[in-house]
């Protein structure tokens, strides 16, 4: 179905609340572009697929970093930094890895006016530079495990780009670990996947499905790849983070070897795991609505915006009280007082709703007289008149309730949008109306996987840890090895 190129946006008609963004139920893609630009998250840069991450958007990334970094440290990891440039010969050493990545590698071939003897790849991911370093650092089993993470950007020459979801350069973190045993490596791989699941659920309020990738969907060079998969507001899936057990493949390619207790030379077992600013895209597409962003309190740069109402002496009294409330609430929340004189209250309501602020506090002359204020929550739009007395507790509780509600809503959406399928026709039906996940049996044959992809555009998102009963492959009817989730993915 070809959509109109541009859905007309509402003009300045009276009564139109949202006048800057497309209706997500009509054109979700346009809505997304409108939100990321109009809510001040990004601006487009001059190079294809590159964006400027503006302060309000970057703030979301800073919270992502803080929340994840805390979890990485708690699981024994340290941060380090490896170079942006990778010698071509390094990249070539792991065969599957090369085949997977070279189509989208950007190369540096000159420095100043000097033509380089060996081309340098701008990292598309850092296995090829970290592996050789680990090789130097590891001699003995006593040097293991190595548990390192780095925050950086990587570059991939993508053909079709979208802000956050697929960009030429993107911010992410990549953890790289080396272990003495296969068991340890596998534990680490699953431990970090669980960290991602916990982060999405408890910080982003996004319900995700953890599981294993199929052979054809796994990371180039990996033994096994795991992912957490999320469901966007339009029914398409998004791979929200991945964790790879690299087995001994990279250890062999980069000669990461150690002497074990018996004096035998062994290859280490390595893992890598990553989460990118794509998480911000998920945040937008899971919670956003027709008025724009909806941010869970834990991620919101501003959790409570105070809008004072009133003019003259009355307005001054309101503002004075608003400042007092701001100071009080500052103890329990991130509060912003919008006391700009040049905008009306109604304008500010729309302004902050577009930016997803979880709770708005309105304070006017009436409230001053009654020692009350009005709280409006962004997720449901509900208004409540509450006493100023004890406001700290009221607000803290409300923020908690918004956070919880968003997670509940996200979880319910995944449950409601996951439907059992017995045939390829049923998969087709679900993905064609972009209704979410199709859950069904899979025999494990890549041919069946490919057939579904060709006929419906859907891919196997993962093989969920939480297996459903599935006797037969929904594609070929042969006995199923496991139940999987199909969906159209970003």
Partner RNA sequence: CGGGCUGUGGCGCAGUUUGGUAGCGCGCUACCUUGGGGUGGUAGAGGUCGCGGGUUCGAGUCCCGCCAGUCCGACCA
Q: What residues between 217 and 256 interact with RNA by CB under 7 A?
A: 217-220, 225, 239, 242
Q: Pick from 55, 83, 111, 381: which binds RNA (CB under 7 A)?
A: 381
Residue 17 binds to RNA (criterion: CB under 7 A): yes
Segment 112-171, which members bind RNA (CB under 7 A)? 124-125, 154, 156, 159-163, 166
Q: Is 477 left (phi over 0), alpha (psi -120 to 50) or beta?
A: left
DSSP per position, 287-311: H-BTTB----TTT-S-SEEEEE---
Which lies closer to RNA via its Cβ, residue 17 or residue 465?
A: 17
**From CA 399, how far away is CA 406, in angstroms rounded?**
11
CA nearest to 179, candidates 307, 268, 86: 268
The stretch among 81-89, 110-118, 128-136, 343-351 that binds RNA (CB under 7 A) is: 343-351
We find the least distance from the C-beta atom of residue 172 to RNA, in angstroms, to be: 8
Q: Pick from 120, 373, 406, 452: which binds RNA (CB under 7 A)?
A: 373
Segment 412-441, which members bind RNA (CB under 7 A)? none
Which lies closer to RNA via its Cβ, residue 78 or residue 344?
A: 344
Which lies closer to RNA via its Cβ, residue 177 or residue 242?
A: 242
We find the least distance from the C-beta atom of residue 124 to RNA, in angstroms, to be: 4
Segment 260-289, which members bind RNA (CB under 7 A)? 274
Question: Can you tell me which residue has the tokens 């915006």?
Answer: 305
The conformation of residue 23, written as its DSSP 8-state character, comes to -
Residue 70 binds to RNA (criterion: CB under 7 A): no
Using the CB atoms, write b or e for 208-221: b if 16+ within 10 Å: bbbbbbbeebbbbb
We find the least distance from the C-beta atom of residue 463 to RNA, in angstroms, to be: 15
**From CA 354, how far away is CA 382, in angstroms rounded?**
16
The stretch among 215-223, 245-253, 281-289, 408-416 that binds RNA (CB under 7 A) is: 215-223
Which lies closer to RNA via its Cβ, residue 156 or residue 224?
A: 156
The H-or-E segment that residue 313 falls in is: helix 312-329
Residue 77 binds to RNA (criterion: CB under 7 A): no
Residue 321 binds to RNA (criterion: CB under 7 A): no
Q: Pick from 310, 358, 440, 464: which binds RNA (CB under 7 A)?
A: 310
Segment 89-118, which members bind RNA (CB under 7 A)? 100-101, 103-104
Residue 365 binds to RNA (criterion: CB under 7 A): yes
DSSP per position, 372-434: EEEEEETTT--EEEEESTTHHHHHHHHHHHHHHHHHHHHHHHHHHTEEE-SSHHHHHHHHHTT
We find the least distance from the C-beta atom of residue 259 to RNA, in angstroms, to be: 33
CA R_g for the chain: 25
We find the least distance from the C-beta atom of residue 141 to RNA, in angstroms, to be: 30
Residue 2 binds to RNA (criterion: CB under 7 A): yes
Give the 3-state secondary structure of residue 278. helix
We find the least distance from the C-beta atom of residue 291 to RNA, in angstroms, to be: 6
Vertex 205 angle, CA 224 and 332, to 5°: 135
Question: Can you tell me which residue has the tokens 């923020």?
Answer: 399
Q: Pick from 118, 454, 466, 469: which binds RNA (CB under 7 A)?
A: 454
We find the least distance from the C-beta atom of residue 21 to RNA, in angstroms, to be: 8
**From CA 389, how far away is CA 138, in angstroms rounded?**
61
Residue 477 binds to RNA (criterion: CB under 7 A): no
Burial (CB < 10 A; 0-12, 13-18, 19+), residue 115, is exposed
Q: Is 453 left (phi over 0), alpha (psi -120 to 50) or beta?
A: alpha
Segment 35-64, which members bind RNA (CB under 7 A)? 44, 46-50
We find the least distance from the C-beta atom of residue 18 to RNA, in angstroms, to be: 6
Pairing of strands 482-487, 78-79: unpaired
Binding-site size, RNA (CB under 7 A): 79
Which lies closer to RNA via its Cβ, residue 141 or residue 319?
A: 319
Residue 336 binds to RNA (criterion: CB under 7 A): no
Quick one: tokens of 368? 């001053």
Vertex 148 angle, CA 143 and 154, to 5°: 140
We find the least distance from the C-beta atom of residue 364 to RNA, in angstroms, to be: 2
Which lies closer to RNA via its Cβ, residue 145 or residue 364?
A: 364
Backbone CA torsion sign across 255, 258, 260, 264: positive
The stretch among 110-118, 182-190, 335-343, 465-473 that binds RNA (CB under 7 A) is: 335-343
We find the least distance from the C-beta atom of residue 166 to RNA, in angstroms, to be: 6
- The answer to whether residues 457 and 472 touch, using CB atoms and an 8 Å cutoff, is no
């Amino acid at each position: 179905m070809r959509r109109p190129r541009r859905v007309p946006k509402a003009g300045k008609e009276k009564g139109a609340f949202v006048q800057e963004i497309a209706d997500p139920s009509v054109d979700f893609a346009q809505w997304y572009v409108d939100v990321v630009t109009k809510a001040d998250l990004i601006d487009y840069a001059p190079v294809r697929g590159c964006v400027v991450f503006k302060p309000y958007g970057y703030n979301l990334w800073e919270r992502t970093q803080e929340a994840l970094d805390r979890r990485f440290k708690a699981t024994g990891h340290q941060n380090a930094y490896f170079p942006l440039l990778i010698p071509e010969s390094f990249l070539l050493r792991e065969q599957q890895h090369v085949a997977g990545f070279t189509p989208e590698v950007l190369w540096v071939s000159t420095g100043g006016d000097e033509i380089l003897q060996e081309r340098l790849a701008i990292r598309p991911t850092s296995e090829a530079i970290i592996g050789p370093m680990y090789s130097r650092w590891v001699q003995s089993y006593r040097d293991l495990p190595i548990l390192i993470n780095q925050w950086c950007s990587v570059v991939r020459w993508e053909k079709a780009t979208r802000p956050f979801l697929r960009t030429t350069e993107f911010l992410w973190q990549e953890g790289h670990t080396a272990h003495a045993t296969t068991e340890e490596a596998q534990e680490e791989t699953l431990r970090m996947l669980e960290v991602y699941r916990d982060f999405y659920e408890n910080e982003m309020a996004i319900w995700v499905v953890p599981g294993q990738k199929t052979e054809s969907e796994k990371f180039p060079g990996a033994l096994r790849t795991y992912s957490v998969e999320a469901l966007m507001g339009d029914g398409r899936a998004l791979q929200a983070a991945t964790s790879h057990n690299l087995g001994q493949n990279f250890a062999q390619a980069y000669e990461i070897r150690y002497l074990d207790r018996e004096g035998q030379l062994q290859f280490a077992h390595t893992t890598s795991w990553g989460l990118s600013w794509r998480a911000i895209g998920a945040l937008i597409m899971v919670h956003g609505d027709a008025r724009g962003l909806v941010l869970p309190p834990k991620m919101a740069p501003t959790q409570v915006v105070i809008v004072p109402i009133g003019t003259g002496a009355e307005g001054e009294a309101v503002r004075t009280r608003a400042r007092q409330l701001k100071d009080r609430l500052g103890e329990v929340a991130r509060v912003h007082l919008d006391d700009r004189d040049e905008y009306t209250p109604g304008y500010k309501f729309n302004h902050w709703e577009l930016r997803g602020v979880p709770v708005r506090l309105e304070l006017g002359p009436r409230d001053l007289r009654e020692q009350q204020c009005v709280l409006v929550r962004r997720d449901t739009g509900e208004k409540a008149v509450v006493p100023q007395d004890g406001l700290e507790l009221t607000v803290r509780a409300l923020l908690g309730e918004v956070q919880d509600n968003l997670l509940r809503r996200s979880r319910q959406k995944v449950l409601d949008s996951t439907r059992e399928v017995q045939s390829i026709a049923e998969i087709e039906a679900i993905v064609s109306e972009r209704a979410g996940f199709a859950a069904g049996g899979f025999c494990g044959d890549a041919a069946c996987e490919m057939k579904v992809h060709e006929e419906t555009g859907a891919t196997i998102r993962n093989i969920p840890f939480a297996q459903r009963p599935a006797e037969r492959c929904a594609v070929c009817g042969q006995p199923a090895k496991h139940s999987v989730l199909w969906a159209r993915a970003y």
